[in-house]
A and B are shown apart, each in its own frame.
Chain A
Amino acid sequence: EDQVTQSPEALRLQEGESSSLNCSYTVSGLRGLFWYRQDPGKGPEFLFTLYSAGEEKEKERLKATLTKKESFLHITAPKPEDSATYLCAVTTSGTYKYIFGTGTRLKVLA
C-alpha cells in the first residue's frame, strides 16, 4: 500500500536553530513529491515540487531535497514566522491522485 510518513510530528526550535523535517514514502512509481506550508485555519500553501532523486529546490530559508526513499525540508536559521504545519504529498505514475502525510507542526521561538 502506498504510504507517506512525516517525522517528527512536532518540532520546537529556537530562532536561528536550523533543522530538518523528514518525509519518507513507500510508493510504486513516484511521479512527484510536494511540500506545502499550512497555517492554522487556512489552506495549504505550495512550496516545492520534486521529481527525481538528487533534485533540490530552495526558497528563502527553506531547501527541499529528494532521495529514492525520502525527502527532507531543511530550515536554515528559522524565524518565528516560519511556525506552521508542513505537509508532504506524493503522486504516482498513472494517476492524478495524491497521498498526504499527517504533517510536522513547527514552532519557532523568539
Chain B
Amino acid sequence: DGGITQSPKYLFRKEGQNVTLSCEQNLNHDAMYWYRQDPGQGLRLIYYSQIVNDFQKGDIAEGYSVSREKKESFPLTVTSAQKNPTAFYLCASRQTDTQYFGPGTRLTVL
C-alpha cells in the first residue's frame, strides 16, 4: 500500500530539547511539505522541498530545520529556539498539483 507515514503519533518534549519528527512516503513523489496546525487556524507552511537535496522556508520556519537526503524521507527537527512548539504537525507529499497528507504527529512541550 502506498502512502505517507509519520512517527511518532504522539511526542512529548521538555523545554530546551530538540526533537525530530519523521515523515516517510512510498508514493514516489518529488515534493514534500511540513505544516503546523493549531486550533482555529489554517494549516501553516513550515518548510517544503521540491526535490532531493533542496528545500525552502515556508511562512513560519523560525525554530525549525529540515533535511532532504532521500526522496522518500523529509524529517523535521523542532529546535529549542521554537517558542511555542506544542501543535499538530502534518507532512504531505505532492503529485502534480494535489497534496496528500500523512496521519500527523502531536507534539506537546512539558
Q: Which residues of A contact B (CB under 8 A)?
A: 4, 31-32, 34, 36, 41-46, 49, 87, 89, 91, 96-103
Contacts and interface: CB of A to CB of B under 8 A. Distances in A.
Interface in B77-110: 88, 90, 94, 97-104, 106
Interface of B: 4, 6, 31, 33, 40-45, 48, 50, 58, 88, 90, 94, 97-104, 106
Tell me if B's interface is mostly helix, strand, loop or mixed: strand
Given A96-B50, A103-B42, A49 B97 contact: yes
A89 B90 CA distance: 15
B98 A49 contact: yes
Contacts of B88: 41
Given A87-B43, A102-B40, A103-B42, A46 B99 contact: yes
A43 B42 contact: no
Nearest to A36: B101
B41 A102 contact: yes
B99 A34 contact: yes
Contacts of B6: 43
A87 B58 CA distance: 20
A96 B58 contact: no
A87 B43 CA distance: 9
A46 B101 CA distance: 8
A96 B4 CA distance: 19
A103 B43 CA distance: 10
